[in-house]
Amino acid sequence: MKDVKSYLNLVGSRIGKAFSLQEFSVEDELKFWSHSAEHMSRAKPPSFRDIVRWMDILYKAPVHIVYRKKGDELFLFKRFVNLENLIGKESKSDLNENEKEAVSSFEQQVQNLQQKKKWYPELNEHGISSNSVGNCEHIPLYDEDSNVWGLYIIGPNTRCPEVIVPRISIVGRLLSIWLSNIEKEEEGQKDDYKNKMGEIISELGSGALNTEALSRLLLRYLISYCESSGGAVVETSRGTIDVIYSENLDDDIIGTLLSENELAVKGEKTGKITSISLDKLGAITSIHFEEDDSSGLILLKEPQKNEESFTSVAKQLAQLFNYRDENAEFSNHLLDTYYQMLRSIELQRETTKHHTPRVIAFAERFAMIFGLDDSETEILKLTAKLHDIGYVGSLSVESEASIGSELSHPLTGYKLIDQLPIHDDVKQGVLTHQEWVNGEGSPQGLEASEISWTGKIIAVFEYIVEFIESNKDDTSKTPEEWIDLLSQNIIERADLHFDMVIVPTVLELVKMMGWEMCIQLGVD
């Protein structure tokens, strides 16, 4: 790594010399100001790419970064990496092994840019400041009221031509005008996007009927009206005795009661009433309900009067359980459809064609090593399967959306499944899998305690899978060196991006598997 850093410094030094003061001619200056006049004359503000090209007349810099100032903090707004300015070549295919490693290291540094950092007074003036990519020049951006709008950072190892320095405040003012207009335009696009997404997902309907809550409501009505001392709603659909809700009746006693008295018999008429007298419990009234494959019993302890609506309540419970089962089947089919749509999107790009299967496979192996129980493992696997389905919703309103480009896809994915009858930990995992434990993630900037356990686990494995997808064909390192580099990157992100509690198990997993197995995971 030391050699790579030396190579980067050497490249930066050469770039700085190549575009020194002597090389910035009068023609360059005229070109710079004529481009600014051209942008100012247009009704639509220049794109960020246009702004980068304009600033590159001055700097020829590998990276351009924009931070937006809010209060005493700076929030990452835009960034752009120019490979040609880094090593003088347009395509990675033209690079030798040393250059590939240099580019990979630099891109990793750009990915590690702080999403949020403190503002300090020295940034009020044009100067040099330290960033994860090296020492860069910064230009404060002031709005029309002379308030700081943000910061434009260019570098590393490049300097503004001296002839421009006296006019750098003008450059900063132009940048603030254009960037603030971009911000307003993007906010409008976000509102339009939300409206479009609302049209698609607001009518998906709700399958999230709370079976337990409705069972509790109906049972409590009967207990109250019949002056009963307790009761229960019991499901017998699957050949087992599942107590959905009970009051003042022990689950073990309910099991014994049903098995000894053969009350859980399918094929009985809904509303059939059976009375049993027990020494310890007193009189128990059982009301049978059944519809299609759904069946169960209402048990009432010592009811003081018979309720005429026993049959109607029993029918309602039968319909409730049957609807729940039908809706669960529909929900499973819908989720499978979402997944197939996502896979179609992923298969369009070489780097993502195995993305979600890899995340699922890693999550399943982590669950075994970490000691999750069967239920938790299924929750984690479903979260892994659905974590990127927000791209399905994004693509339905934006034809250019692609994996990695739609930063709000966790929120979109959450909205697609929020009303479906799946575990809330799955929904929260989809929503939070791009959050960082230090609060610098997206889309909500949540901190560790606010992020779902499923979201924390998927976050680290999505990072691992993206690392694999970026480096699987690179032979510049041995398999052991790739695992060491991956492990080091994970350690560096612990307590920043990843939850420290899961990091040791993650490291144990990747080292146990090795580079070749990591590459192959999820491919078959």
Q: Is 262 exposed, middle or buried (0-12, 13-18, 19+ CB in 10 A)?
A: exposed
pLDDT one-digit tens code per residue, 384-430 = 999 999 888 765 544 444 444 445 788 888 988 988 888 999 999 99
Per-residue pLDDT, 443: 82
Tokens describing residue 486: 């991956």
Q: 193-202, 415-424, 491-500 — which one is most confidently predicted on average?
A: 491-500
pLDDT one-digit tens code per residue, 218-233 = 888 888 888 888 889 9
Q: Classify each residue of 207-232 as buried b or exposed e, where b means 16 or more C-beta atoms within 10 Å of its C-beta.
A: bbeebeebbbebbeebbeebebbbbb
Residue with tokens 């032979």: 475
CA distance 462 to 366: 13
User: 60 and 84 in contact (C-beta within 8 Å)?
Assistant: no
> pLDDT grade, residue 304 (50/70/90)?
confident
Per-residue pLDDT, 488: 94
CA distance 80 to 110: 9
Per-residue pLDDT, 511: 95
pLDDT one-digit tens code per residue, 367-396 = 999 999 999 999 999 999 999 998 887 655
Mean pLDDT of 481-510: 94
Look at residues 440, 465, 478, 395 and name the one whose alpha carbon lies nearest to residue 112: 440
Which segment of 181-185, 387-391, 405-409, 434-438 scores lowest on mean pLDDT?
A: 405-409
Order of all β-strands in the sheet with 134-142: 116-118, 73-81, 63-70, 148-155, 134-142, 127-131
Coil/strand/helix, residue 507: helix
Which segment of 105-109, 250-254, 273-277, 453-457 scores lowest on mean pLDDT?
A: 105-109
Mean pLDDT of 458-481: 93
Choose between 385 and 237: higher pLDDT.
385
* Rama region for 210: left / alpha / beta (φ>0; ψ in -120 to 50; rest): beta
> pLDDT grade, residue 248 (50/70/90)?
confident
Residue with tokens 């459809």: 337
Tokens describing residue 167: 């006019």
Q: 33-47, 94-108, 154-168 — which one is most confidently predicted on average?
A: 154-168
CA distance 354 to 344: 11
Q: Give phi and psi for 143, each to the nearest 5.
A: -85, -175
> pLDDT grade, residue 6 (50/70/90)?
low
- Name the average pLDDT for the chain: 82
Structural domains in the chain, sorted by start: 2-187 (3.30.450), 211-323 (3.30.450.40), 347-520 (1.10.3210.10)
Provide the whole-model pTM: 0.57
